[in-house]
Structure 1
Amino acid sequence: MGAPELMRVSVFKRYLDELAPLDESDPHQLPPSLLQDLRRFKEHGRHTEPLEVLAASMRHLRNVAMHLQDGERVLPLTLFPRQCLAHCPLSLHELLQLPLDNLQVLHVEPAVLRPPGDPQRGLVKALHLYHPLPLLSWEFAMRGSREQLLPEIAGYAAYRASAVLDLRPLPIPTPLRNCVRRLQRETTSLRQLSEWPGLDRAVASRLLNALYLQAGLIVSRSHPAADTDGWF
């Protein structure tokens, strides 16, 4: 099986230049609440990162396609949060071999493809190209470009991992797995977590983001261990 043909970035950018201006009342566009989530980051003079799109899609339970720049090619990644799946023209092995911290979001739009089992069979692709979304969200959180807490869990807070969180499907090194198990027993702030063995502020932030996207993080704003942290 040959490598998939992916669009070149220069061609895709010309396509974006030709798109009609966004009409937020158009039902075929992204919903305003999801758009607002994504615009928060651009308002701070930053480009939207893949992890932020993943978080917004999962929080709003909206199927979206994000087009990622990987060098000179464009990699489409379609998210299906209700089915906990993502479609990519690359195999899971090929996708996870990419430098996830170098992928840049070029464009986000409503998904055209459909998940397996959808009645619109013509829009369902080969099953081996649908990958587990929990695994991808974990990998983007731990290996992507974002080293700060997502805004939904940032601020004055204390954190604890859910006792029912199932870590078995995730590729977690033993030292980090031990940190998660400890976090299932203790409630702590980001500042305190950053001082645990093997962690620093960036890794601790990544870990909390990853747990949040697994629906495995308990955030308390009133716990005695709560401490403040920057919004970004």
Structure 2
Amino acid sequence: MNSELFQPTIPIGEPELMRASAYQRYLDELHAEPGGISTRISQLSPSLRADLLRFGHDGGASEVVEVMAACVRHAKRVTIHLQCGDRVVPLTVFAQERLVHCPVPMEELIGKHLLDLRVMHVEPALLRPPGDEQAALVGAEHMHHALAPLLWEMAMRGLRRELLPEIAGPAVYRVAPSLDASALPASGAVMAAIQRLARQSASLRELAEWPGMDRERATRLLNALYLQSGLIVSRSHPDAVRDGWF
């Protein structure tokens, strides 16, 4: 992706996005200095920091959905610096408010660059969510978007084709009663599977054998439901124990 294609997505008056090469040099310089990036990331909660360090040094990761899942699970406000072609997009996640702030239009980020995104760095958010008393730190209104649709798209169409670590292993799954399936952008076999999971539990192997499903599609659906806080995972169910044994 070249700068000529990327530039029109930035609203007039907004700062230009940093080049990925320049940001990488910045990260390399901080790595070389005592108390650089490590000091910044240490401001995250110990549990979130431990999760991020599983994916790579100081929060780096190739699979964006893993990092997003960790930030949502720990309900923290963070900024994820994403390499998008030759530019860096700072995506700020407000987990409790279920919002994200992004300087690139969401249809551009999801529609054209979803498979190109790579996490370069994660740090505590400097921006504040809409309505915060520190109004000067609240981003432009048109740059805020609902978190749920982004998580769904990342799970269903992103790079990851395996279950997220938190739901992997011997288990059976069921849709949580609190999930509003009608609000999900699902149809056909996927919606039928969601409705069936609302009535009965199933293992990944069983779900993959349902009409219109296969292992990858079933895996992506379970990840997507988990990120919507709409998945019940049972590891003590007899079917889960049986799967684990074999």
Normalising by the residue count of structure 2, what TM-score does the alignment of the two structures yield? 0.85
1:62-98 CA distances to partner (integer Å, 9 max, x unpaired)?
Answer: 1111111111111111100100000000222222212
Establish whether residue 64 from structure 1 lines up as the match of residue 78 from structure 2: yes
Bigger fraction of residues in helix: 2
Bigger-Rg structure (1/2): 2
User: Residues 171-198 of structure 1, C-alpha deviation per residue, up to 9 Å, x if partnerless?
Assistant: 2133211110011111011111111122
CA distance, structure 2, for counterparts of residue 24 and residue 76 of structure 1: 19
Distance 1:193 1:22, change over 3 A: farther
- Answer yes or no: is 1:9 the counterpart of 2:15: no
Aligned partners of 2:193 and 2:40: how far apart in 1? 46
2:183 maps to amino acid: P
Q: Could you tell me how far apart the structure 2 residues matched to 1:26 and 1:87 are?
A: 20
CA-atom RMSD in angstroms? 2.2
- Name the stretch that deviates more: 77-86 or 220-229: 220-229
Closer/same/farther in 2, CA of residues 104 and 228 from structure 1, 3 Å limit = farther
Matches within 5 A, 1:66-81: 66-81=80-95
Question: CA 1:7–1:196 in 2, change beyond 3 Å: closer, same or farther?
Answer: same
Distance 1:173 1:26 in 2: 43
Go from structure 1 to structure 2 and tell me whether the alpha carbon gap of 1:99 and 1:24 turns closer, same or farther (over 3 Å shift): closer
Q: Distance in 1 between matches of 2:144 and 2:42?
A: 23
Kindly provide the amino acid, as one letter, of the partner of residue 9 in structure 1. Answer: A
Structure 2: segments with no counterpart, 5+ residues: 1-6, 11-15
TM-score (structure 1 length as normaliser): 0.90
Task: Return the alpha-carbon distance in structure 1 between the equivalents of residues 43 and 112 of structure 2.
Answer: 29
Where structure 1 has 5 or more consecutive residues not aligned to the other structure, the ranges are none
Residue 194 of structure 1: aligned partner: 208
| Residues 161-172 of structure 1: pairs in structure 2 closer than 5 A | 161-172=175-186
| Whole-angstrom CA distance in 2 between matches of 1:28 and 1:40 | 15
Asked whether the equivalents of residues 28 and 110 of structure 1 are also in contact (C-alpha less than 8 Å), the reply is: no
- Other-structure match for 2:146: 132
* CA distance in 2 between partners of 1:23 and 1:42 (Å): 13
User: Which residue of structure 2 aligns with residue 228 of structure 1?
Assistant: 244
Q: Which amino acid aligns with 1:52?
A: E
